[in-house]
Amino acid sequence: MAAKAKRKPEAQGAPGFDTDPLHRMTLGYLVNLIARLMAQSLKARNGADGILPGQYPVAVELLLQDGMSQRDLCEAVRIEQATMANTLKRMERDGLITRRQSTEDGRLSTVHLTELGICRAQAAVRNAAEVNRIALDGLSPADQAALRNTLIDLAARLEADLGEPAAETAEEIK
CA distance 86 to 11: 35
Give the chain's length: 174
Residues 65-90 have a mean pLDDT of 96
59 and 120 in contact (C-beta within 8 Å)? yes
> Which pTM value belongs to this model?
0.79
Q: What is the pLDDT of residues 44-62, one digit of tens each?
A: 999 999 999 999 999 999 9
CA distance 174 to 163: 24
CA distance 39 to 12: 28
Q: What is the pLDDT of residues 158-169, one digit of tens each?
A: 999 988 876 666
Give the full edge-to-edge strand order of the sheet including 68-69. 68-69, 109-113, 97-101
CA distance 122 to 43: 14
